Each structure stands twice: as C-alpha cells, then as structure tokens.
Amino acid sequence: MATFGVETTTDEVLEGIDLKGRWALVTGASAGLGVETARALAAHGASLILGVRDLEKAEAAAAPVRDAATGEVELRRVDLADLASVRAFTDGVAADHDELHILIANAGVMACPEGRTADGFETQFGTNHLGHFVLVNRLVPLLVAGAPSRVVVLSSAGHRFSDVDLDDPGWEHTPYDPWRAYGRAKTANVQFAVGLDRRLRDRGVRAVAVHPGAIMTELSRHMTEDTLNALQEARGDRPMTWKPVPAGAATSVWAAAVADADEVGGRYAEDCGVAEVTTDPTSPVGVFPYAVDPAKAEALWARSEELVGERFDLS
C-alpha cells in the first residue's frame, strides 16, 4: 500500500482510483482547496455538484474542474451563512438526484471580525458548523441511498484553541476573540463528524473530520498582522509550515475515496492519516480529547438542532 504524508498531493493519493459513476458534492468550490478537491475527484471520473456562494465567480474558477471531468459538473448556489439558502440548495439537489456517494463540507471562514449570519448566529460557528450541519443532514437520504458513502468535514488544528461553548454560542456573554471563535467552530466540525458517524455507520455512511494543513487561500482573507501574531502566540514554539494547495486538499480526497472506512470513521485526520488523540498542546499531530468526545458530540448535536429549529432523526 502506498505511503502518504504531509507532502502528498491529490493526484498521488488518487492514483489508480476510478470514481466513474459516483457523485461527489463539494462546498466552497469556487477557490483554493475546494477547486483542487473537485478537480482531483473529477479527473478520476466522479461527477460533481459544486456548492458555491457566487455563481459568476465560480463559473470561472470551475474551468479546471470542467477540463478534467469525464462526468457531469453542476454549479449550484448556496450561502452557508443563510439557512434559507442552505435549505433551498438541499431541496434542489434532492429533487434532481437519487444518490450521493461523497460529500465534502469544505467551505468556511476563518478569524473574521465579529459578525452575524442571516439567522443571527456568530459568523464562524454559524457558517462553518451550523450551515453544514443543516446541509449534510438534509442530504442524508441521498448518502444512505448511495452507500457505501463518505462525509468529510473540514476542521482544523485550530480546534486546539477552544472547545465549543454551548451556553454562549453567540459570544453574547464572552468578549469576542476571532481565533477562539474559529477554534469553537472547528471543534464543532470534529464533534459533528463523530456524532454523524455514530448515527450512520450501520447504514453504510461514514464521517470523518480532517485538517488540511496551513495553506494560503482565500480563507485567510480576514487575517491581519494582529491576528497572525495572535496565531503564532497561540502556537508557542511550533513554527507555521505552509502547504501548497494540492497537498492541502490531499487529506480530503484521501478520506473521501481511499482510506479504509473503519480506520477513519468518526475520527480526525491530517496529512493523509488518522491523527492520534493527545492532550499535549505542543504535539504537531492529534486533537484535544474534547474534540472526539462522544458525549460532547451528542450535546452539540442537540444544541445545534435547537438553534437551527430542525430535528434530524437519522435512526
């Protein structure tokens, strides 16, 4: 079996993999990791549904995906910061498709100024977690119909900055900090994958959270000198190592189409491998235990349903 690691690219991960006849949905597919993730899957035969916020921008960005594709490529608008948009998107996908085999929850925002989504949620938690929580859950029937299938939720090593605060998800009682807010959202991404995998593994759907690595993409558009300094301070003596985009997207496609389902299901992965759980903040790999704690995952699930006003009985 091939050995993959920090420098492995998407094409190296998918070498010899045939995805013809399989449908993959990628959110945030108008720039950076999303485009490369979609391009790599398309180049190996998958048909793509690209969930994007700006259709005009995405049409130009999708050129390499269309050039690589042998299957179909669809562009569909979805704004994860607006649950009405998310629900319209999922209704449209479900109306036009019977099955879904891969869903990569790639879109997100990072370290942005304090703000609110269309539904009044703190921007990072509302976009990165709640938007995908609704989107993925509403498409579960398609994933079950397409089983064996995978859900890949993009998290980050930034989950180390903070556990989720279910008593104050909107930062109404806590002074807002952009990196701690990012940490809460990225922890929620891992806990969502843990909860989703527990609910669906017996039905052939496995979920995994991944850290792509540090990559300079549009995700970094809100970063200032102050936020970069705060990030480095939080990292202590650990230097920031930047990956090129093809290596950054590699863990997503590895988890979606290559990794063993039982190896990655309900786990956290980085550098094309499952990361061990650690309590050591200086460790270059791994997650803090709260991120993969099943009890915390269940508490987040219940609170998320309460916040979005929608229940998802996946039993």
Question: Out of 30, 47, 149, 186, which one is annotated catalytic?
Answer: 186
Q: Before 244, cis peptide (omega within 30)?
A: no
Rg (CA), the chain: 18
Cα first-last separation, the chain = 35
Clarify whether 176 is annotated catalytic.
no
In degrees, to the nearest 5, what angle opens at C-alpha 24 toward C-alphas 136 and 181?
40
Give the span between the Cα atoms of 132 and 116, in whole angstroms: 16
Which of 182, 243, 252, 268 is the catalytic position? 182
**Residue 296 vs residues 41, 108, 195, 311: alpha-carbon distances, Å:** 33, 22, 9, 18
Distance of alpha carbon 61 from alpha carbon 308, whole angstroms: 31
Contact residues for 108 (Cβ-Cβ < 8 A; gap 6+)? 28, 80, 124, 127, 128, 154, 185, 219
User: Do residues 207 and 268 lie in contact, with contact meaning Cβ atoms separated by under 8 Å?
Assistant: no
Query: In Å, what is the CA distance from 258 to each residue of 158, 272, 286, 298?
Result: 25, 10, 20, 28
CB 110 within 8 A of CB 61: no
CA distances from 39 to 97, 250, 269 (A): 21, 12, 21
Q: Token pair for residue 214?
A: 């540090």
Look up 182 and say whether it is catalytic. yes
Which of the following is catalytic: 30, 47, 149, 155?
Answer: 155
The answer to whether the beta carbons of residues 257 and 154 sit under 8 Å apart is: no
Whether 252 sits among the annotated catalytic residues: the reply is: no
Which residues are marked as active site? 155, 182, 186
